[in-house]
Amino acid sequence: MPIFEVDNLSLHYLTRFGDKIPAVSGVSFSMEKGEVLGIAGESGCGKSTLVNGCMGLFIPPLNPTSGDVRVAGESIMGRTPRDIRKNVLARKVAMIPQGAFNSLNPTRKIKDLAADMIASHEQGVNKKEIYGRLRERFILIGMDADSVLSAFPIQLTAGTRQRCVIGISTLLNPQVVIADEPTSALDVSTQKSVIKMIFDLLDKGIFSSMIFITHELPLLRHVADRIAVMYAGEFAELGTTQQVIFDPRHPYTRALMGAMLSAEPGQKQKKPTAIEGAPPNLAKPITGCRFAARCPEARPDCKTTTQVIRIVGGREVRCAYAE
């Protein structure tokens, strides 16, 4: 049984005037134990909305339209916010946020921030017991527990702070961890150590599988088993890392690869190509393929026929003409 399943999930934002803006439409994927799924896409394509949907965290104006999210076979949709808070967040699905600089409250010590989290989920645990557990966990994840726990966030470096955030988020051994651009605010060498730590936790079985969200495709190549490329709220292509990076079939993925810079020999001669145009405005109804207006390979009927997922060369592609 897959550990995490998203079944045809659609989400929308409700505006003040009652209009629905579909931010995510028809996203489906499933993950096995130990798997890392990378999700890539440009800014504003619905990655972070999808994250909130995957956690069942519907803070207004975000609302579910249809579809289901299952963790270990159990649906987390249609529950009360209180139930989600107590039993899903941090227990089943945890999240590692993006900003290492701002994710810890500067007025409180690391151990208090972590203790809050445990106290919100477990009744009747005393402070001493919590601090003992924290110490144990922080040593297990390879941090200098004594000095880090009693420090204020401002006393720590960005890398250490982000590692603290990861340590706190995974305290309750969640089944799935969603990392929403966990390293985008860090320099390259710190990035590496943070990623190493995340995979160390995965190896130690502290969590069983991970969704890694980023807009840096080269990074995904090193961390993900499978990659989904998102465009305007839909998955354009979903396949193994090898397939998506080295043999992309969807025109958007191909264009994205063309726009990518990587530090490899021979790159100096190659000019990266930008994708012309801008993503469609989701507030207006869209007919046909969402990428058609920018697609270099668009055919006349692309703008009128709605694209469905096809299996091409062993991966899912949302394009009628991909081969």
Q: Shortest approach of other proteins to residue 313 CB, angstroms?
A: 37
Question: In DSSP terms, which residues pair with 39 in a beta bridge?
Answer: 213, 228
Is residue 97 a contact residue for other proteins (CB under 8 A)?
yes
Asked if 169 touches other proteins (CB under 8 A), the answer is yes
Name the minimum Å distance from CB 156 to other proteins: 14
- 183 makes contact with other proteins (CB under 8 A): no
- Which residue, 120 or 287, has its beta carbon nearer to other proteins? 120
Stretch of residues binding other proteins (CB under 8 A), selected from 93-101, 199-207, 250-258, 313-321: 93-101
d(CA 52, CA 70): 14
The string of DSSP letters for 50-98 reads HHHHHHT---TTEEEEEEEEEETTEE-TT--HHHIIIIIBTTTEEEE-S
Among positions 117-156, residues that touch other proteins (CB under 8 A) are 117, 120-121
Which CB atom, from 166 or from 302, has the smaller least distance to other proteins? 166
265 binds other proteins (CB under 8 A): no
CB of 99 to other proteins, least distance (A): 4
Comparing C-alpha atoms, which of 290, 309, 286, 308 is closest to residue 298?
290
Number of residues interacting with other proteins: please give it, by CB under 8 A: 29
In this structure, are residues 40 and 227 in contact, taking their beta carbons and an 8 Å threshold?
Answer: yes
How many CB atoms neighbour CB 75 within 10 A? 13
DSSP string over 221-258? HHH-SEEEEEETTEEEEEEEHHHHHHS--SHHHHHHHH
> Tokens at residue 246, please?
């080295």
d(CA 50, CA 219) in angstroms, rounded, equals: 20
- Binds other proteins (CB under 8 A): choice among 49, 98, 162, 214: 98
Residue carrying the six token digits 């299996």: 311
Q: DSSP string covering 10-44, please?
A: EEEEEPTTS-EEEEEEEEEEEE-TT-EEEEE--TT
Instruction: Give Cα 46 distance to the centre of its chain.
Output: 10
Q: Is 273 in the site for other proteins (CB under 8 A)?
A: no
Region of 4-12, 105-113, 193-201, 212-220 interacting with other proteins (CB under 8 A): 105-113
Q: Does 267 bind other proteins (CB under 8 A)?
A: no
| Piece of 31-39, 67-75, 116-124, 268-276 that binds other proteins (CB under 8 A) | 116-124
Extract the tokens encoding 169.
């988020």
Q: Tally the residues of the chain.
A: 323
Binder among 108, 109, 221, 310 for other proteins (CB under 8 A)? 108
Shortest distance in whole angstroms from residue 126 CB to other proteins? 17
Among 10, 13, 28, 86, binds other proteins (CB under 8 A): 86
Which stretch, 69-77, 109-117, 210-218, 292-300, contacts other proteins (CB under 8 A)? 109-117
Say whether 6 sits in a helix, a strand or coil. Answer: strand
Does 208 contact other proteins by CB under 8 A?
A: no
Measured between alpha carbons, how far is residue 3 from residues 7, 29, 207, 288 in Å? Answer: 13, 11, 11, 33
Q: What is the DSSP letter of 89?
A: B
Using the rule CB under 8 A, is 165 a contact of other proteins?
Answer: yes
Q: Retrieve residue 144's tokens.
A: 């200098």
Beta-bridge mates of residue 228: 39, 238
- Tell me which stretch binds other proteins (CB under 8 A): 113-121, 125-133, 247-255, 256-264: 113-121
Which residues lie near other proteins (CB under 8 A)? Answer: 55, 57, 59-60, 85-86, 89-91, 94-95, 97-99, 102-108, 112, 116-117, 120-121, 165, 168-169
